[in-house]
Amino acid sequence: MTSKERVRCVLHREKPDRVPINYSANPGIQARLIEYYGLRKNDIAGLRARLGVDFRAVGTAYTGHALHSERPDRLVNPMYGFIKRKVEHESGYYWDYCDFPLEFATIDEVAAWPMPDPDDFNYDSLDGQIKAHDGYAIYLGNPGIGCVINNAGFFRGMEQVFVDLITDDDAGLLLIDRFINNQFAKLERELDAIEKTAKKLGKRLNEVLDFVWMGEDLGTQHSPLISMYTLKKHILPRQKPFFDLCGMYDVPVMLHTCGSSSWAYDEYIKLGLSGVETLQPEAADMSPSFLKKKFGGRLFFHGCISTAGALAYGSVDDTVKICTETLEIMKPGYEYCFAPTHDLQDNTPVENVIAAYDTARRIGVY
């Protein structure tokens, strides 16, 4: 099977030749994997081919001018003004959100905050990307699309976002709506551009685009982040238009859900959710066996291979064991995609990553 055929089998609960495979990683471990395979520096396509990755992303680049100024000691997002600082550790480094420019903003300050015009993206580039990824499963979006809590936290800080949701803070809710509406307008244009490409190929949009990836962080390791009341009042109504839009094109939606998130899945299924992603097995009610028993046949699953477990801290044998166990639980029903729960972290041994993907290709065969 081609990668596209393999993934589409899972989307429709049909038998593939093997479990589809996906991959994401931090720069440090990715560079070491590329070196291990003897590939050219930054040859990510070559690395994906070696690992057997079936998925490819498409997206649009911003073509407008920078709306927010650079800072010498920070990384500032030129479109939205998010601010990050570099945090170094023994395995490498990462960029963490800080300074929260709208944490104490008034409603007028939020209303005046520059955000990109949805017209200022290169939608024409999607045509070439789709053609370049022929034979692969193609998705649009990422875990930040349609995400209320996390995205607002980049501007306000997480504590203030929860206060906003509990108190119906006008400034906080306006920020959420401005950002969400901005993303939705961009998604509309992206789907319209992909539909034009599909028509040129003599196909429907959902034959070209396999799914849209959205996200919402809903849980800690032990419990929900918010109440069901808050989910229904503030989160789902703002995400429903995204599901409705994708439903209009009959394109499946996969939702990124960190932590203990299965408590919300039934409500998302009502919106039209097809699949869930991340699936941290160490979080409450997120083990492969629990998810399979409660949601098998209703959702497809993407993830479950913890980046905070054996993959990072165990031996090769530990890694093979947990990957094998996960595959044996999740394979039945043809509804599982093998993937790490988050980006592979810089502290992950290369040999464990190789063992994980070797196991997926070997044990994942039907």
Q: What integer pLDDT is reported at residue 139 of this predicted model?
A: 98
The packing angle between helices 27-36 and 350-363, to 10°, is 70
Distance separating alpha carbons of residues 75 and 87, to the nearest angstrom: 12
Q: What integer pLDDT is reported at residue 93 of this predicted model?
A: 86
Total length of the chain: 366
Whether 30 and 44 have beta carbons less than 8 Å apart is answered as yes
Residue type, 344: L
pLDDT (tens digit, 0 to 9) for every residue of the chain, 366 residues total?
999 999 999 999 999 999 999 999 999 999 999 999 999 999 999 999 999 999 999 999 999 999 999 999 999 999 999 999 999 988 888 899 999 999 999 999 999 999 999 999 999 999 999 999 999 999 999 999 999 999 999 999 999 999 999 999 999 999 999 999 999 999 999 999 999 999 999 999 999 999 999 999 899 999 999 999 999 999 999 999 999 999 999 999 999 999 999 999 999 999 999 999 999 999 999 999 999 999 999 999 999 999 999 999 999 999 999 999 999 999 999 999 999 999 999 999 999 999 999 999 999 999
Token digits for 252? 């499946």
Which secondary structure element, helix H or strand E, spans residue 213, and what is its range?
strand 211-215
Q: What integer pLDDT is reported at residue 90 of this predicted model?
A: 87
The hierarchical CATH code for the domain 3-64+122-363 is 3.20.20.210
DSSP 65-132: --SS--BTTBEE-TTT--EEEEEEETTEEEEEE-S-TTTT--HHHHHHS----TTSB-TTHHHHHHHH
Distance separating alpha carbons of residues 224 and 221, to the nearest angstrom: 8
Question: What is the three-class DSSP state of 271?
Answer: helix
Cα dist. 92→30, 169, 172, 348 in Å? 12, 38, 34, 11
Q: What integer pLDDT is reported at residue 91 of this predicted model?
A: 84
